[in-house]
Amino acid sequence: MISFIVSAVVLVLLAVIFIVPTLRKQNYAFSDEYDDLNVSIAKERLTEIKLQLESGEINQQTYQQMHDELESTLALDLSGAGEPVSEQQAVSKNKPLTSVLLALAIPVVAAGIYYQLGDFAAATGTRVAQTVIPAGQNRPQMTIEEAIAKLEQRLVQEPNNPDGWFMLAKTYMAVKQFHKAEQAYKKVLDIDASNQQPEDPELLLRYADAVAMNEGGSLTGKAKPIVDKVIKLIPNNPTVLWMAGTAENQQGNYAKALTYWYKLYPIISQDAGAQSQLASLIEKAESKLSADEIAQLKKMAPAQKAAPASLPSTNAAVAEIIVRVELDPALKDKVKPTDTLFIFAKAMQGPPMPLAAVKKTVAALPLTVSLNDAMAMMPQMKLSSFEQVKISAVISKSGQPGAQPGDLFVEISPVNVKAQEKIKLIISQVK
């Protein structure tokens, strides 16, 4: 009996220590709603990607990658600890009397409840209870619509809870209610501003994304000034670099778009899929500019990172390919002296962006050129970074580097970059 009383006293004291300070704080109890929302969103997203896999829109590898990312995101959401309560949310004045009353009330109420429901015989060891505790049941599953409605109702009661509005905005984005998502993110920004909190760049990015999606995916409207603001706050963030480049590209400012995308390309080197997609965007933007404009942008691009230690220090010196280009005499009547001639060195696999390029006219044929690192379209994509490449020459009727029907071309591969070979190309094919 004595050990029971001692244990009870200790437990009551612990309860007082933990409960009293907590009850005096103005906290928002949203953890259960957050978990329900996160689980509901994850389930809907999983259903979507399964349907994409079954319909052939994505392959098994892409499905597995998206599935793993979804699991990781959900795990982080469900395990994340709550943010500390801000000074604005905490009770500003100490109330000693309240603390004393709470401290006294806890043991009194506990004793009263135990007197009514407890078993002193069991506590003294005179009788062992044969009670089986029923297994707990999970909370009833909610649909995502029900979870949204529940969170909306709670925010009517607590309209100044930024965490609640943020979760609601994420949920609206997941169910493609972009207009409501934009309003919810704006509410979070307004609450932060009223609390004199500094602007959160990541929050601004989410807001810009919601605004753009609400405007049909356009980053040239209301989203543009938001992106411009964020790029100044976090200039090396991959998401904002991608969005800033896309915004400029949508406005036809291809040179400006390339300055962002050139900077982004090496940052996402660990994501081959995203890098390949970006390379395609870069190539399309470059096709709108002249070779001189591209060369000027290349000079302004960020410097290449140091080469891995495994690469010989003489790579740059030996990375040169001498190319002799001629036109098949049988095709002379199909070209004009003013037609544009492009000579490229490209990687055997990976991004289609040239590692080295030369632009001339047909009038210069036959000619010999040297392809080397100095001609790299991007500082991060040089001849010296590859063992083998493919060499091609294209006579373009449109003046654009991408071969179109009617253009003349020739391609040879593989070519060893370090062998210092002299390659002869005879343009003899019509696309």
The full set of domains in the chain, from first to last, is 199-300 (1.25.40.10), 315-430 (2.60.40)
Answer with the residue of higher pLDDT: 71 or 163.
Answer: 163
Buried b (16+ CB within 10 A) or exposed e, 161-199: bbebbbbbbbbbbbeebbebbbbbbebbbebeeeeeeee
* pLDDT at 141 > cutoff 80: no
Give the C-alpha separation, 375 to 322, whole Å: 13
Give the C-alpha separation, 242 to 230, whole Å: 12
Give the C-alpha separation, 235 to 275, whole Å: 18
pLDDT level of residue 127 (50, 70, 90 thresholds): very low
* pLDDT at 23 > cutoff 90: no
- Strand-pair partners of 415: 389
Answer with the residue of higher pLDDT: 363 or 174.
Answer: 363
3-state secondary structure the chain: CHHHHHHHHHHHHHHHHHHHHHHCCCCCCCHHHHHHHHHHHHHHHHHHHHHHHHHCCCCHHHHHHHHHHHHHHHHHHHHCCCCCCCCCCCCCCCCHHHHHHHHHHHHHHHHHHHHHHCCHHHHHCCCCCCCCCCCCCCCCCCCHHHHHHHHHHHHHHCCCCHHHHHHHHHHHHHCCCHHHHHHHHHHHHHHHHHCCCCCCHHHHHHHHHHHHHHCCCCCCCCHHHHHHHHHHHCCCCHHHHHHHHHHHHHCCCHHHHHHHHHHHHHHCCCCHHHHHHHHHHHHHHHCCCCHHHHHHHHHHCCCCCCCCCCCCCCHHHHCEEEEEEEECHHHHHHCCCCCEEEEEEEECCCCCCCCEEEEEEHHHCCEEEEEEHHHCCECCECHHHCCEEEEEEEEECCCCCCCCCCCEEEEEEEEEHHHCCEEEEEECEEC
Answer with the residue of higher pLDDT: 278 or 134.
Answer: 278
Q: For residue 271, which of 352, 379, 351 has the smallest C-alpha distance?
A: 351
Rg (CA), the chain: 33
Q: What is the pLDDT of residues 204-253, one digit of tens each?
A: 989 999 999 988 888 989 999 999 999 998 888 888 999 999 999 999 99
Predicted model pTM? 0.44
Percent of the chain with pLDDT over 90: 15
Mean residue pLDDT of the chain comes to 74
Q: What is the pLDDT of residues 323-333, one digit of tens each?
A: 899 999 998 88
* pLDDT at 382 > cutoff 80: no
Q: What is the pLDDT of residues 43-69, one digit of tens each?
A: 666 777 776 666 666 666 666 666 666
pLDDT level of residue 307 (50, 70, 90 thresholds): very low
Check if the beta carbon of residue 415 is closer than 8 Å to that of residue 393: no
Q: What is the pLDDT of residues 156-183, one digit of tens each?
A: 998 898 888 988 888 888 888 999 999 9
